[in-house]
Amino acid sequence: MNAFSKRLDRLPPYMFGKLKQLTYERRTQGIDIIDLGMGNPNDPTPQPIVDKLCEAAQDPRNHRYSASKGIFNLRREICRHYQRRFGVDLNPDTEAISVIGTKEGLSHLALALIDEGDLVLVPNPTFPIHIYSIILAGGSVVSIPLREENQFVPSLSEITRDIWPRPKMLILSFPHNPTGAVVDLDFFREVVDFAKKNQIVVVHDLAYADIVFDGYEAPSLLQIEGAKDVGIEFLSLSKSYNMAGWRCGFAVGNAELIAALAQIKGYYDYGIFAPIQVAGITALRSEPDLVQEHAQTYQKRRDVLVEGLNRIGWSVQLPCASMFVWAPIPKPYQHLTSMEFSTKILDKAEVCISPGAGFGHNGEGYVRIALVENEQRIRQAARSVRRFLSSPPMVSGEGSAKAVAL
């Protein structure tokens, strides 16, 4: 059939889909796979939020089309949240909009801002939608390498001024997925200064604002003076409140960028199901202790996993934030690609993890392990991995045939 858009040809193979299919096949065979591949929270949404959803769903008026930019009370509540949390003042009418999850918001923002041939600066590795949204909008991605020696924080001074055409946008995300890297306000001051000097829009994905450990507090880009002149920030309820499937997020910041996103969304969607928006207000009004408890849960899982891996000789660092551990492939297996190594772990240890290359070419040589099982299951995963690592390493290419054959 010759009916497909050429933009599909620009998309790389989706590695995570291959591993998900492999996991599904193993489970249909009765094999107990411990899935630490996807950043999908496994704990329940807090009951008061669920109760508010059920209550709002009983109102027939809430089953009509909603507004694509979100109901006013929800937009007002996210602005109040920013004032409480970051000391940032926002106008709910012009500087805030709800989105059907950050992936939708980022994708529609790219359609609003990016023309064919436009260049966008994106750290590598990164959350895949930061790359795919630009490609699907017709733009081209210029990768900023994230290196372990720089704590996986991009060096803006390394970005050459010889890039032509001039980049139109810079996409960032801290705390970072997949590396768990973190930054401070001084970094965002540098970002705002860089954006103003180079006339670049800054898009910051703050999905892991609340999943922080060891006393670290994640800053907002908008805390920097002048940030709203150049930037927009996305925030989601998915991780902080275990609401990943609810698809409830926000974009805040520059009024012109918010208006452009609203214009695109007005053509594509009718917004989030109204009862979810009402429940989202309840989530944002929750006591800070609620999200702190969630962060403590992830911190305990982090400690169990990292301690378990280090004990068996797999040297892994403790991340300060996010729900992931970014681990270099162990030395005896560094002749394997990250996809080969992940496939082998799934085959032999019955644990699903994500290949680093799935987050960009600079992720090769690493794997991402999600903290989405309880401590007992994570200990079980570490024991299974230990048995695998104690076996002789395979020859490169041995595991790739299965991956390609999916």
Q: Which residues of the chain have pLDDT under 70?
A: 392-406
Measure Cα distances from 366 to 129, 135, 311, 355 in Å.
19, 24, 19, 7
Polymer length of the chain: 406
Question: What is the pairing mode between strands 231-236 and 249-253?
Answer: antiparallel
* CATH entry, 47-286, from 3.30.310.40, 3.40.50.1000, 3.40.640.10, 1.20.1250.20: 3.40.640.10
Q: How much is the pLDDT for 400?
A: 39
Query: Rounded distance, CA 175 to CA 214, Å?
Result: 14
* Listed residue (305, 328, 314) closest to 390, CA to CA: 314
Side chain identity at 96, as an amino acid letter?
A: A
Cα Rg, the chain, nearest whole Å? 21
Query: Rounded distance, CA 341 to CA 97, Å?
Result: 41
**Residue 258 phi, psi (nearest 5):** -60, -40
CATH C-level class of 6-44+289-404: alpha beta
Which three-class secondary structure string do you get for the chain? CCCCCHHHHHCCCCHHHHHHHHHHHHHHCCCCCEECCCCCCCCCCCHHHHHHHHHHHCCHHHHCCCCCCCCHHHHHHHHHHHHHHHCCCCCCCCCEEEECCHHHHHHHHHHHHCCCCCEEEEEECCCCHHHHHHHHCCCEEEEEECCHHHCCCCCHHHCCCCCCCCCCEEEECCCCCCCCCCCCHHHHHHHHHHHHHHCCEEEEECCCCCCECCCCCCCCHHHCCCHHHHEEEEEECCCCCCCHHHCCEEEEECHHHHHHHHHHHHHHCCCCCHHHHHHHHHHHCCCHHHHHHHHHHHHHHHHHHHHHHHHCCCCCCCCCECCEEEEECCHHHCCCCHHHHHHHHHHHHCEECEEHHHHCHHHCCEEEEECCCCHHHHHHHHHHHHHHHCCCCCCCCCCHHHHHCC
Q: How much is the pLDDT for 398?
A: 45
Q: How much is the pLDDT for 392?
A: 64
170-188 CB burial, b ≥16 within 10 A, e <16: bbbbbbbbbbbbbbeeebb
Query: Rounded distance, CA 245 to CA 236, Å?
Result: 11
Task: Name the CA dihedral angle for 225, 228, 231, 237, rounded to a multiple of 10 degrees.
Answer: 100
Query: Rounded distance, CA 262 to CA 69, Å?
Result: 6
For the record, the structure tokens of 39 come out as: 């950043």
Q: How much is the pLDDT for 291?
A: 94
The structure's pTM equals 0.93
Query: Rounded distance, CA 302 to CA 323, Å?
Result: 8
| 94 Rama sector, left if φ>0, alpha if ψ -120 to 50, beta otherwise | alpha
Count CB atoms within 10 A of the CB of residue 29.
8
Annotated domain spans of the chain: 6-44+289-404, 47-286
Q: How much is the pLDDT for 7?
A: 85
Query: Do 142 and 95 form a contact (C-beta atoms < 8 A)?
Result: no
